[in-house]
């Protein structure tokens, strides 16, 4: 099928929930993709921070191949080795002692919120979860309610009670929002969808302190900023404060769908048999892919590469900003970078696509750069030639 045929078939049969670029991809390798008409693209998007290892990383592909010929699915009525090995690996690499495996970021956050509610019901009958403005946590009703962006709520009210939004990067506002019924704070260590918003260095430590003082559960949504994206395996490592619950998805599966809710043994104890679950959670193929992906993403040399290439990428963005007044601000950490423009960014994204570069725009005017972490300096340079032209002309 050609691009045009695939687009036509989509218009005829898919529910049109995505505002898509007019291109269909058929093949990927590293930081490159090819569309159905054979055109090559350089990827600064990584499937929205999923293909952190690049497209079709050989270790991930081989793990999927091996598992797919052995066992595809067994059900959580039974045990399987890939799931328990993945849970153990995530614990080895983080503060966590217990893991719940699911299929997406929204599901991981849903489980985190249910865990917090259940824990609160046993600790003073508390239920309220404080989330932040500008956040994105998913599309299920609970995660949608916790998502601090009005545009995603349109037409879906009434939303879920017991979730309240507080200004992001404002620890004092969070402190005054806490009341008797509050049980948890849900926050992205770096906001992605909201426009690559990096909070002040003392924000997460102050939330940690607040949570400790009021016996609240601090939930870090690392669905986008985790898995090596910022040059550490988890973004909160930059400020050195652990959460009580951490959610993961996106890059966790190396390109296959999987999510994880990670916590301590003490907190996990409130979720007893029958309290929560999902049919495909811990699927052997997804877990085999994730085991290979986490092994790669946790390699110190790769994380060092992210810090180095990320610094180079950010320097190049700042140099562009000095030249082109259309760039208002450059921000981000590692290879999670944003360039806020003085006007909407859609035309720049379209121009880059036309010229073979995949970028993305979020929060209307923030160009978001979340390339595969394996991207080389030469590829960054190649992309910047396209980007500069697009910014100057679009
Ligand atoms: C920070 C964050 N949390 C949760 C989600 C939802 O993940 P999913 O689309 O896998 O449900 C996203 C998706 O963009 C995200 O960026």
Question: What is the longest distance spanned by two Cα atoms in the chain?
Answer: 60
Q: How far apart are CA 117 and CA 374, in angstroms?
A: 39
The shares of helix, strand and coil residues in the chain, as percent rounded to the nearest 5, are 40, 20, 40
Question: What number does the ligand 1 atom closest to the CA of 191 have?
Answer: 1
Q: Residue-wise over 47-67: b if at least 16 C-beta within 10 A, else e?
A: bebbbbbbbebeebeebbeeb
Residue indicated by tokens 């340079």: 381
Q: What pLDDT shows up at residue 3?
A: 97
192 CA to middle of ligand 1, Å?
9
Listed residue (193, 185, 192) closest to 241, CA to CA: 185
- Edge-first strand order for the sheet with 327-333 is 327-333, 336-341, 366-369, 360-362
Mutate to test the pocket of ligand 1, among 138, 145, 256 (most ligand atoms within 8 A of CB): 138
Residue among 223, 234, 235 whose CB has most ligand 1 atoms within 8 A, to mutate: 223
**How far is it, in rounded angstroms, from Cα 196 to Cα 310?**
14
DSSP run (H or E) holding 32: strand 32-35
* pTM for this predicted structure: 0.98
Q: Measured from the CB, is residue 131 less than 6 Å from ligand 1?
A: no
Predicted local distance difference test score (pLDDT) of residue 210 = 98
> Using N-to-C axis directions, what is the helix angle for 81-92 and 284-297, rounded to 10°?
30
CA dist 29 to 2, 333, 334, Å? 20, 25, 22
User: Domains plus CATH for the chain?
Assistant: 3-56+300-393 (3.90.1150.10), 59-297 (3.40.640.10)
Q: How confident is the prediction along the chain (394 residues), in pLDDT tens digits per residue?
A: 999 999 999 999 999 999 999 999 999 999 999 999 999 999 999 999 999 999 999 999 999 999 999 999 999 999 999 999 999 999 999 999 999 999 999 999 999 999 999 999 999 999 999 999 999 999 999 999 999 999 999 999 999 999 999 999 999 999 999 999 999 999 999 999 999 999 999 999 999 999 999 999 999 999 999 999 999 999 999 999 999 999 999 999 999 999 999 999 999 999 999 999 999 999 999 999 999 999 999 999 999 999 999 999 999 999 999 999 999 999 999 999 999 999 999 999 999 999 999 999 999 999 999 999 999 999 999 999 999 999 999 8
């Amino acid at each position: 099928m050609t691009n045009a045929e695939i687009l036509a078939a989509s218009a005829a049969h898919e529910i049109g929930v995505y505002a898509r670029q007019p291109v269909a991809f058929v093949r990927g390798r590293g930081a490159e993709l090819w569309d159905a008409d054979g055109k090559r693209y350089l990827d600064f998007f990584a499937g929205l921070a999923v293909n952190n290892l690049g497209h079709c990383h050989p270790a991930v592909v081989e793990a999927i191949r091996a598992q797919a010929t052995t066992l595809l699915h067994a059900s959580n009525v039974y045990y399987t080795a890939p799931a328990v090995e993945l849970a153990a690996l995530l614990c080895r690499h983080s503060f966590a002692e217990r893991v719940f495996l699911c299929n997406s970021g929204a599901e991981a956050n849903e489980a985190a919120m249910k865990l917090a509610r259940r824990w609160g019901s046993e600790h003073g009958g508390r239920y309220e979860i404080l989330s932040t403005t500008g956040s994105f946590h998913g599309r299920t009703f609970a995660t949608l309610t916790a998502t601090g962006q009005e545009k995603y709520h349109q037409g879906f009210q009434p939303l879920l009670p017991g979730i309240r939004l507080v200004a992001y990067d404002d620890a004092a506002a969070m402190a005054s929002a806490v009341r008797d019924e509050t049980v948890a704070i849900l926050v992205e260590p770096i906001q992605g969808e909201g426009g690559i918003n990096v909070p002040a260095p003392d924000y997460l430590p102050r939330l940690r302190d607040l949570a400790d003082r009021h016996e609240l559960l601090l939930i870090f949504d690392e669905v986008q900023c985790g898995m090596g994206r910022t040059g550490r395996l988890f973004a909160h490592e930059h400020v050195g404060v652990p959460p009580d619950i951490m959610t993961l998805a996106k890059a966790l599966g190396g390109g296959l769908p999987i999510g994880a809710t990670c916590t301590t043994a003490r907190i996990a104890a409130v979720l007893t048999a029958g309290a929560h679950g999902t049919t495909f959670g811990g699927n052997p193929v997804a877990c085999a892919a994730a085991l290979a992906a986490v092994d790669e993403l946790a390699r110190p040399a790769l994380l060092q590469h992210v810090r180095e290439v990320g610094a180079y990428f950010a320097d190049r963005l700042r140099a562009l900003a000095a030249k082109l007044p259309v760039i208002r601000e450059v921000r981000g950490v590692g290879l999670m970078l944003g360039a806020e423009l003085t006007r909407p960014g859609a035309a720049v994204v379209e121009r880059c696509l036309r010229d073979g570069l995949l970028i993305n725009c979020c929060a209307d005017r923030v160009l978001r750069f979340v390339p595969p972490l394996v991207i080389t300096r030469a590829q960054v340079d190649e992309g910047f030639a396209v980007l500069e032209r697009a910014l100057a002309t679009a």
